[in-house]
Amino acid sequence: MVIYGVYIVNKSGGLIFNLDHNLPKIETEKTFSYPLDIALDYETKKVCVAFGQRDGINVGHVLIGINGVLVTGTLLEDGRDAREVIENKDNYPLSLKFSRPKMTTNEKIFLASMFYPLFAIASQLSPEPKSSGIEVLEADTFRLHCFQTLTGVKFMIVAENIQTGIDALLRRIYELYADYVLKNPFYSLEMPIRCELFDTNLQALLDQAEKGGVVSS
Amino acid sequence: MKENPNKIPIERRVYKRRSCRDSNLTPQNSELLTLTYGALVSQMLRDYESVDDVNKQLDRIGFNMGMRLIEDFLARTGSGRCLDMRETADKIQLAFRMYLNVQPTVSNWAASADEFSLIFDTNPLTEFVELPADYQQLRYSSILCGCIRGALEMVQLEVQCWFTQDQLKGDATTEIRVKFVRRLEDAVPAGED
Distance from CA of B7 to the nearest CA of A (A): 29
Q: Is A17 on the interface with B (CB under 8 A)?
A: no
CA–CA separation, B20 vs B18, rounded Å? 7
Local mean pLDDT, 10-residue blocks, chain A (217 residues): 90 91 80 85 86 84 87 85 86 87 88 90 84 90 92 93 88 93 89 93 90 63
Nearest Cβ partner of A174 from B22, B75, B187?
B75
Does the pLDDT at position B12 exceed 50? no
Q: What percent of chain B has pLDDT over 90?
A: 61
Question: B190 vs A201: CB contact, 8 Å cut-off?
Answer: no
Residue B38: the pLDDT is 94
CA–CA separation, A120 vs A133, rounded Å? 6
Question: A177 vs B71: CB contact, 8 Å cut-off?
Answer: yes
Side-chain-side CA neighbours of B103 within 13 Å: the count stands at: 4
Q: Which residues of A touch B80 (CB under 8 A)?
A: 150
Residue A77: the pLDDT is 87
Indicate the pLDDT class of residue B192, thresholds 50, 70 and 90: low
> What ipTM score was computed for the predicted complex, to two decimals?
0.79
Task: Name the DSSP class of B124.
Answer: G
Does the pLDDT at position B25 exceed 80? no
pTM: 0.83
Nearest Cβ partner of A175 from B76, B187, B192?
B76
The 10 Å CB-count burial string (b at 16+, else e) for A163-201 is bebbeebbbbbbbbbbbbbbebeebebeeebebeebeeb
CA–CA separation, B159 vs B114, rounded Å? 10
Residue A23: the pLDDT is 72
CA-based nearest residue in chain B for residue A201: B20
Nearest Cβ partner of B20 from A151, A152, A172?
A172
